[in-house]
Amino acid sequence: MDFFRDPRGREFAFNAFVPGYAVYACARDSCDGSGWALALGSSVLSVTPLGEAAALSRTARAVRVAEQAGNEAHNAVNALKLSKPLASEAQMGEKGTVIAGEGSGTVFRNASKAAGDHGGEAADWVKKSSSSYTAKDGRQFETHWLENTATGQREEFKTILGKATE
């Protein structure tokens, strides 16, 4: 993971990095300064302060910040591109809903495989889903992952795309 230091001396971690793009805009969350989003030419670099765990609320704010940054980024297409990866990141920070495994009423059929691949007991593994996000182009998506309810370990995040609504 790469790090950089801001003008106030705070260290930030790069969650993603797309080399070769010029920075279009840099926006800082004005609420408490903890959420940053750097809008790049065709992607988003989201920056999370080290040592802070409140990913959900911070990243949700970062989504709004990115949308604001998008408004400064000359066209609506860029705004759309900015919001999706950050929304996905926000979904990864959610508590999630168990859709298969203990507590869901549905058998998690890949529990043994999850235990084999990632350790632990099969009975501890569940499949979780984030809330659904609808982008401005109508495209909906969720994030799914496997979670060990005994340890909190999360594995195999994936984006589930829905059909665009009209």
Nearer to other proteins, 62 or 114 (CB): 114
Q: Count CB-CB contacts under 10 A for residue 166.
A: 4
Told to check if 2 binds other proteins by CB under 8 A, we report no
Torsional class of 77: left (φ above 0), alpha (ψ -120 to 50), beta (otherwise): alpha
Nearer to other proteins, 106 or 151 (CB): 106
Spell out, one character per residue from 81 to 100, where the chain touches other proteins: x when CB under 8 A holds, - when not: ----------------x-xx
- Residue 89 amino acid letter: E
Q: Which of 106, 116, 119, 151 binds other proteins (CB under 8 A)?
A: 106
Tokens at 132, concatenated: 């659904």
Nearer to other proteins, 75 or 165 (CB): 165
Told to check if 36 binds other proteins by CB under 8 A, we report no
Q: CB 158 → other proteins: shortest distance, Å? A: 7
Among residues 135, 140, 9, 162, the alpha carbon closest in space to that of 81 is found at: 135
